[in-house]
Structure 1
Amino acid sequence: MNYRTLGNTGMPVSELSYGAWVTFGPQIDVNIGMSCLKEAYDRGVNFFDNAEVYEFGVAESIMGEALKKLNWDRDTYMVSSKVFWGRTPTAVPTQKGLHRKHLVDACHAALRRLQLEYLDLYFCHRYDPTVPIEIVVETMTNLVRQGKILYWGTSEWGAEEIKEAYDIAIKNSAVPPLFEQPQYNLLHRERVEKEYKPLYEHTGLGTTIWSPLASGLLTGKYNEGIPEKSRLNLPGYEWLRNLFIEQYQSTRIEVVKKLGVLAHELGMPLSQFSIAWCLKNKRVSTVILGASTPEQLIENIAAAEKTDMIDDTVMEQVGKILSTVPGTLSHGNE
């Protein structure tokens, strides 16, 4: 496993990490969670991603119980949580958003569920236009100084919002946001490759990217429709199914098929190809993997060994294939 520095934190993060979204709870219990976490850890993964909203706290509880049983030295791995949506489907106003009360309450609740004394990374899961950024910066700074979190960042914030938070923090000798968790994959590229480009120099922004397989689309398993036993048919994920249907009706499935042919020619599954492609971008600090079985996780982690196969010639072929998708960009390695 290779390691990259997470923005300006100075922390070495494994270039592949493991997240709990969708899987922990509906597909993974404590025992399977332990097996997946151990496989990842044994292969050098040192970052495990979670959020209050993932199965409304259940994902954090499962991960916390698994980590307790695994009993690894705490200084050998990192855990995150994210705050914004709340931990219940019917969250009242004080239980969601980025106001000071929820930022603090959600941090304490995540620590209880994860059975940890501190969070390594704490993300603002979305931007909250109802809360002044000054309050967010001040509250996150206090949590750092209290030892509840080590660093904080954002998820799916706009570049202007991130820059404003960073500049406010620097001006007031506070702790700035140093990383962002955006979606990034072969079919979703603009924010990482274009919008955030000025931030890489201005703030030293790190990125912990999610959905490298576009919610499974870039595995090829949806090329002929939606399998009965897939995450798109899980209760509570109807929005993900609707998003897929919109993509299915566009040109994206044909693009996925062409990418699959290219991956096959290189001797690897499309899933590995898609993950390795993300790793080619040096602005990606870590690629968060989601897997419901140890076997699936092992296969995806093996993508880290395939990046050299995606050379300039292959990247050019990818560019030609993606040129048929509206709004795509050339690969951003700057």
Structure 2
Amino acid sequence: MAKVFTRPLGRDGFEIAALALGSWHTWDRTTFEETVNVIRAAVDAGAAYFDVGVYRAMHPGQFDSPTDVIFGRAIQAAGVARDDYVLQVKSWVGPSGTVGDIVARFDQAVFRIGTDRAEIVVFGDLVGEHVPYEVIAEGAAALVSSGRVRHWGVNNWSAAEIRRVAAAAEKAGVAPPALAQLKYGLVRRSIAEGEPYRGVIADLGLKVQASDALDGGFLLGKRGQRMTGNDPGDIHGLVDEARPKLRALADELGCTLAQLCLSYVLTNDDLCSLVVGARTSEQINDDLGAFDLLARVGADRLRELLAPYWLDRGRVDPASSWSSVPDDDPAKYAVIPTD
């Protein structure tokens, strides 16, 4: 099996694996033992990179999700030393609107994992009357200057929002965000591959981090029930129509549908990493196979074969951001078929 390659992040020579494991509600939906196995498989393949956050509860009566706490214990059980993996934490920008609140939320995130630092911090969605860009930039500067964070990024921000926080970062004396985590995949390309993001990438050296690349399993036709991100552009009907053709193409190439879909994302030179929510050994091994497919078929050929499947073209405004939908809006999240 091909090893996971690395990509540069920032301008200081830092390298990260092109595959990160984690995302939303990954480790609170499987057994502890399987979580340990998945982490070990990822590390052995060169993907010692984990995206972890403090998330709301999935079930009534829970205060919060234990997914991040489970990860902290599982990576210890997998025998992976703290210096041997890259940790990325989500640090939500709280309502108080102060640098102290930003730092406190970061401290909470790493405390729950069982450490005191993270190589990367990602600030979450901006909604409603969000914290001023200057405060967010100063919060990033405080974390970087303390030595507990090396790089910072944003999650589902628009290109315009990133330019504003980058200007604030310059005033705060900290480098601009190094990555933007976006809902990006084979069928959803309008924001990550369109303007105005192209200009931000060129001007700031920003890298794209793909999340929800399989649409919570919907792209694979998996059936089940769980909360996941919404359907920007209302393209799920188009996905249903395209799925048989994609399966046939995967068969021709001797790969799985998941590997075909993930390999497309890996062809993007502006990508720093792809975040997957694998929670079983079967899933992580399937995901890792995308690197074999890329090596065997090549990026140019894959992009040529998959060009017709840009399904949100003309349906999503490339200048928008998913985070522009308020958290309390029912459209923000949807229950979609998945496993």
SS in 2 for 1:285: strand
SS in 1 for 2:66: helix
1:207 to 1:71, Cα distance in 2 relative to 1, 3 A? same
Q: 1:18: how far off?
A: 0.7
1:45 aligns with 47
Cα deviation code 1:203-235 (max 9, x no counterpart): 11022210121211222x34xxxx3xx3xx13x
Q: 1:257: how far off?
A: 1.9
1:136 and 1:324 map into 2 onto residues whose CA distance is 31
2:256 aligns with 269
1:116 aligns with 115
2:249 and 2:298 map into 1 onto residues whose CA distance is 10
Q: 1:310: how far off?
A: 4.8
SS in 2 for 1:153: strand
Unpaired runs of 5+ in structure 1? 87-92, 330-334
1:77 aligns with 85
2:209 aligns with 208
Unpaired runs of 5+ in structure 2? 58-63, 318-339
Match of 2:130, as an amino acid?
A: T
Match of 1:14, as an amino acid?
A: A
2:332 aligns with none
Q: Which has the higher contact order (CA 8 A, sep 6+)?
A: 2
2:309 and 2:252 map into 1 onto residues whose CA distance is 15
Contact persistence 1:322–1:328 (CA under 8 A): no
Q: 1:299: how far off?
A: 1.4
**1:80-229 correspondence to structure 2 within 5 Å:** 80-84=88-92, 93-94=95-96, 99-128=98-127, 129-194=129-194, 195-219=196-220, 221-222=221-222, 227=223
1:173 to 1:313, Cα distance in 2 relative to 1, 3 A? closer
RMSD, matched Cα: 2.6
1:143 to 1:325, Cα distance in 2 relative to 1, 3 A? closer
SS in 1 for 2:174: coil
% identical equivalent positions: 24
1:42 to 1:324, Cα distance in 2 relative to 1, 3 A? closer
1:322 and 1:20 map into 2 onto residues whose CA distance is 23
1:318 aligns with 306
Using the size of structure 2 for normalisation, the TM-score is: 0.82
Match of 1:49, as an amino acid?
A: D
SS in 2 for 1:149: coil
1:284 to 264, 271, 275: 271
Q: 1:172: how far off?
A: 3.8
Using the size of structure 1 for normalisation, the TM-score is: 0.83
Cα deviation code 1:128-185 (max 9, x no counterpart): 5432111111111111112232221101011111112112222442342111111111
Match of 2:38, as an amino acid?
A: C
1:108 and 1:100 map into 2 onto residues whose CA distance is 12
1:321 and 1:140 map into 2 onto residues whose CA distance is 37
2:67 aligns with 59
Contact persistence 1:255–1:325 (CA under 8 A): no
Please identify, of 171-180 and 141-150, the stretch whose mean Cα deviation from structure 2 is larger: 171-180
1:253 aligns with 240
Contact persistence 1:21–1:54 (CA under 8 A): no
Contact persistence 2:141–2:173 (CA under 8 A): no
1:16 aligns with 19
Contact persistence 1:206–1:285 (CA under 8 A): yes
Contact persistence 1:9–1:178 (CA under 8 A): no
2:137 and 2:86 map into 1 onto residues whose CA distance is 22
Match of 1:280, as an amino acid?
A: T
SS in 1 for 2:119: strand
1:2 aligns with 5
Contact persistence 2:17–2:46 (CA under 8 A): yes
1:9 and 1:207 map into 2 onto residues whose CA distance is 17
